[in-house]
């Protein structure tokens, strides 16, 4: 089902995102988006958060618009939150069941896209296991259609990056003074890429990427980050510690990947390993969690964890992004 279409040039994705007036039309990557725009999107997302226990925010800004969720890879949080975000903004939301869609019968992704365009879909939210697919689609859609990247291979997951930095901003004073440690399978993680890009643009003090050597990133993909295979040193005095799942579905050959016990002992985020971070350090995880592998269950459920907060922020961020591309559409 994946990797049928040609990989596109990833270099100019950034320029594809803005329209002639500099407004956000597609969200494909956080790379190349300027700090002001990131901050505006975080501020907009704050506006879509309500007090815990109260009703969620709603508006009609997308009334009359149609959003289609096309998830060609598994998802719980991202898919559910895009669904809720679209509905809470008044849009018609179509969740295409890709397992029963014609792509399973060999239809190309572009034919699927053109079919949805013919049904007057305005926004397509796309997750795919192949690199370059969101930008490839963005180059082929009608002028008024927006494409939102909801997870692209190991390359990018921009709304996750935004919700992560929003969560950090809610708990810490300024990015400049922070040491953020991201721990786990950095090499195959689109979350690590997008969150690192957002943190770098926002001027984070120190970004540390910690993993077994076999799961370390290409240093060129994360300029400015400190890459380490030593957990204790990597999370020493960190303000924020984010654990990542091993992306087994993206690893062809698992040889050299430590077994569960060894991995947890050396790279697991636990009460014990958190002793090396600052006493007020927060614990994050994008989900889905593999408890007892990359994170200790009771830590994930404990007071230092902001993992459910990330989920709540995910809906608000997706509302903010949908609202923004909706306004760009309306101005055309
Ligand atoms: N949910 C995140 C993603 O789609 C993280 C993960 O799957 O481990 O990339």
CB 219 within 8 A of CB 208: no
Q: Which residue has the tokens 């990018």?
A: 156
Residue 284 CB–ligand 1 contact under 6 Å: no
Name the band, by pLDDT with cuts 50, 70 and 90, for residue 6.
Answer: very low
Per-residue pLDDT for 262 more than 90? Answer: yes
**What distance in Å separates the CA atoms of residue 199 and residue 180, rounded to the nearest whole number?**
9
Segment 5-13 shows an average pLDDT of 55
The CATH label, of 3.40.50.800, 3.20.20.80, 3.30.1300.30, 3.40.50.1370, for the domain at 158-301 is: 3.40.50.1370
User: What is the rounded average pLDDT for all residues in the chain?
Assistant: 94
Span of 96-105, 133-142, 181-190, 197-206 with lowest mean pLDDT: 96-105
Residue 235 CB–ligand 1 contact under 6 Å: no
**What distance in Å separates the CA atoms of residue 297 and residue 286, rounded to the nearest whole number?**
14
C-alpha radius of gyration, the chain, whole number: 19
User: pLDDT tens digits for 221-245?
Assistant: 999 999 999 999 999 999 999 999 9
Helices (H), the chain: 13-16, 35-47, 77-88, 109-118, 133-138, 158-171, 190-201, 231-235, 260-267, 271-274, 297-300, 307-331
The pLDDT value given to residue 10: 52
Q: How far is the CA of 108 from the centre of ligand 1 (A)?
A: 25
Q: How far is the CA of 191 from the centre of ligand 1 (A)?
A: 7
User: pLDDT tens digits for 274-312?
Assistant: 999 999 999 999 999 999 999 999 999 999 999 999 999
The pLDDT value given to residue 252: 83
328 CA to centre of own chain: 22
Ligand 1 nearest-atom number relative to CA 245: 8
Per-residue pLDDT for 1 more than 70? Answer: no
Q: How far is the CA of 161 from the centre of ligand 1 (A)?
A: 11
Name the band, by pLDDT with cuts 50, 70 and 90, for residue 7.
Answer: very low
User: pLDDT tens digits for 243-260?
Assistant: 999 999 999 888 888 899
Classified by CATH at the fold level, domain 8-153+312-330 comes out as Rossmann fold (3.40.50)
Per-residue pLDDT for 2 more than 70? Answer: no
Residue 79 CB–ligand 1 contact under 6 Å: no
The pLDDT value given to residue 97: 84
User: pLDDT tens digits for 32-79?
Assistant: 999 999 999 999 999 999 998 999 999 999 999 999 999 999 999 999
Spans of all domains in the chain: 8-153+312-330, 158-301
Q: How far apart are the first and last CA of the chain?
A: 35
The pLDDT value given to residue 195: 98
Segment 5-30 shows an average pLDDT of 80
Per-residue pLDDT for 96 more than 80? Answer: yes
> Given strand 123-128, what is the order of strands in its sheet?
92-95, 66-71, 123-128, 146-152
Per-residue pLDDT for 3 more than 60? Answer: no
The pLDDT value given to residue 25: 97
C-alpha pair distances (Å), 180 with each of 102, 243, 277: 43, 11, 10
Segment 172-193 shows an average pLDDT of 97
Per-residue pLDDT for 141 more than 70? Answer: yes
The pLDDT value given to residue 4: 44
Work out the angle between the directed axes of helices 158-171 and 307-331 (0-180°, nearest 10). Answer: 120
Q: Cβ contacts of residue 288 below 8 Å, gap of 6+?
A: 76, 245
Name the band, by pLDDT with cuts 50, 70 and 90, for residue 102.
Answer: confident
Nearest-10 Cα torsion for 22, 115, 96, 329: 20
Q: Can 8-153+312-330 and 158-301 be said to share one CATH topology?
A: yes
């Amino acid at each position: 089902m994946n990797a049928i279409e040609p990989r596109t040039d990833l270099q100019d994705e950034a320029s594809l995102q803005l329209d002639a007036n500099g407004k956000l039309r597609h969200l494909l990557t956080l790379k190349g988006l300027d700090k002001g725009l990131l901050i505006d999107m975080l501020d907009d997302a704050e506006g879509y958060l309500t007090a815990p226990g109260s009703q969620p925010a709603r508006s009609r800004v997308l009334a009359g618009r149609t959003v289609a969720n096309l998830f060609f890879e598994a998802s719980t949080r991202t898919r559910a939150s895009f669904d809720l975000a679209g509905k809470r903004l008044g849009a018609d939301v179509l969740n295409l069941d890709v397992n029963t869609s014609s792509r399973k019968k060999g239809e190309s992704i572009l034919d699927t896209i053109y079919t949805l365009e013919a049904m007057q879909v305005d926004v397509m939210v796309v997750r795919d296991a192949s690199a370059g697919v969101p930008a490839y689609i963005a180059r082929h859609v009608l002028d008024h259609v927006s494409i939102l990247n909801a997870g692209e291979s190991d390359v990018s997951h921009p709304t996750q990056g935004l919700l992560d930095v929003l969560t950090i901003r809610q708990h810490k004073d300024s990015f400049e003074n922070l040491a953020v440690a991201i721990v786990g399978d950095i090499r195959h993680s689109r979350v690590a890429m997008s969150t690192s890009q957002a943190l770098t643009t926002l001027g984070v003090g120190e970004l540390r990427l910690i993993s077994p050597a076999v799961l370390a990133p290409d240093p060129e993909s994360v300029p400015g980050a400190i890459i380490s295979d030593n957990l204790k040193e990597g999370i020493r005095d960190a303000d924020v510690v984010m654990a990542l799942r091993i992306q087994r579905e993206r690893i062809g050959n698992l040889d050299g990947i430590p077994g569960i016990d060894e991995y947890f002992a050396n790279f697991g985020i636990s009460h014990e390993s958190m002793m090396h971070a600052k006493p007020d350090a927060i614990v994050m995880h994008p989900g889905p969690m593999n408890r007892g592998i990359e994170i200790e269950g009771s830590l994930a459920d404990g007071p230092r964890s902001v993992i459910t907060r990330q989920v709540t922020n995910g809906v608000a961020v997706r509302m903010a992004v949908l609202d923004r591309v909706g306004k760009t559409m309306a101005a055309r």
